[in-house]
Amino acid sequence: MIRWRKGTVQGVRREWPGAVELDVTIDGQGARALAYPSLVGRPEPGDTVLLNTGALALGLGTGGYAMVVAVPDRLPPDPDGPGHLVKARYTPLQATVLGADEQDSPHHAVLADADDLDGMPVLIADLHSALPALLSGLLLDRPGTRVVYVMPDGGALPAWFSMSIAQLKAAGVLAGSVTTGQSFGGDLETVTVHTGLLAARHVLAADVAIVAQGPGNLGTGTRWGFSGVTAGEAVNAAATLNGRPVASLRVSSGDARERHQGISHHSLTAYGRVALAPADIPVPDLPGPFGARVAAQAATLPDRHHRAAIALDGLEEALRADETAWGVRMSTMGRRIDGDLEYFLTCAAAGRHTATLL
């Protein structure tokens, strides 16, 4: 159930494109809150704000903010541009946006008959935290590659929630973003992952598209009850449009849950059962018994996929250097590079393999 509270804004903690992080007091206690000015206006110190505190009550690691629903005494201005796509539909904060694929868009003519990705590599991952590591491996071997992030709606709906997108764009290593389905806030908006991929290729001129859900992966510990099934669906979408799907494995040695040790059951299900089209599956050449475990798990994936062994030389150094150079925090489930190196190396290896396809 939603938990509603009123709070008072004490100050701005930090901000990035599309989002403002605030210090607020709620019932006399300090807390962090997040506002999306395009939806609710920009809260200022001293404002009374209406908050959804459900994430705070659950103690969520990702998204553990009170979310600003409204600034009752100062409403945002009405939007005055075109746009007929409604996203987060029939929720109190539904957003009307201009879709790249809708009739009023300047890109409609390009996308109306678009049906082919021209063999563009589509690099697919389960978690949003993979994004900077995928880029690190790709750009180490193919600097200057034009990469566009395509965001499905399995995790966060507002792309503004992701500091990584903003930081990677500011660093010049991510050319743009496309939000698809119910997600919104990208440089382009589209109705489906299919049109999102086509927009990445034909409107934003991507050499490579990366598809990974936004922050806030949801899992239930069951075979099918996790939001990352969208990774398998993205393989099918990319193949349908004559793209080259590259399926990045979710690998961990730092996750305490057995189902995520080695290759996560999320990857084994998404690529083994959901992805019916063939994909390249880069398998990192990890050392020792853990590497042998990963290789054995990868061997259980269907023969329709192409498994490629990937050398890891130079990737750890690139990950650490890029984290500093790009100003982005490489972290997954609260674990940094030293806490789960194999996770980040596996993502970087998928990026490295993608570089060979260009």
The whole-model pTM stands at 0.95
Question: What distance in Å separates the CA atoms of residue 181 and residue 175, rounded to the nearest whole number?
Answer: 21
- Which tokens sit at 142? 């193919």
Q: What is the model's pLDDT at position 256?
A: 66
- Which tokens sit at 278? 């063939």
Q: Which residues contact 349 (CB under 8 A, 6 or more apart)?
A: 137, 282, 283, 284, 285, 310, 312, 315
Q: Which helix (H) or strand (E) holds 251?
A: strand 251-252
- Which tokens sit at 35? 């506002």
Residue 142, CB-side half-sphere exposure with 13 Å CA sphere? 19
| 348: exposed, middle or buried (Cβ count in 10 Å: 0-12, 13-18, 19+) | buried
Q: What is the model's pLDDT at position 63?
A: 63
Three-state DSSP class for residue 294: helix
Cα-based distances in Å from 83 to 87, 97, 181, 200: 11, 5, 15, 19
Question: What distance in Å separates the CA atoms of residue 339 and residue 132, rounded to the nearest whole number?
Answer: 16
Query: What single letter denotes the amino acid at residue 206?
Result: A
Q: What is the model's pLDDT at position 259?
A: 73
Question: What distance in Å separates the CA atoms of residue 14 and residue 31, rounded to the nearest whole number?
Answer: 14
The secondary structure of residue 192, as a DSSP letter, is S
Contact present, 131 and 210 (Cβ < 8 Å): yes
Residue tagged 């299919």 (tokens): 194
Question: What distance in Å separates the CA atoms of residue 146 and residue 355, rounded to the nearest whole number?
Answer: 11
Contact present, 149 and 177 (Cβ < 8 Å): yes
- Which tokens sit at 58? 């659950």
Contact present, 282 and 298 (Cβ < 8 Å): no
Q: Which helix (H) or strand (E) holds 57?
A: helix 54-58
Residue 230 burial (CB count, 10 A): 23
Residue tagged 């209406």 (tokens): 50
How does 148-183 read in b/e, with b if 16+ C-beta sit within 10 Å? bbbbbbbbbbbbbbbbbbbbbbeeebbbbbbbbbbb
Query: What single letter denotes the amino acid at residue 186?
Result: G
> Radius of gyration over alpha carbons of the chain, in Å?
20
Query: What single letter denotes the amino acid at residue 297?
Result: Q
User: Running along the chain, 358 residues long, what does each successive block of 10 average in pLDDT?
Assistant: 88 95 94 93 94 81 81 84 90 92 94 96 96 98 98 95 96 98 97 98 98 87 80 97 97 76 89 97 96 96 97 98 96 87 97 98
Question: What distance in Å separates the CA atoms of residue 107 and residue 100, rounded to the nearest whole number?
Answer: 6
Main-chain dihedrals φ then ψ at residue 101, nearest 5 degrees: -100, 5
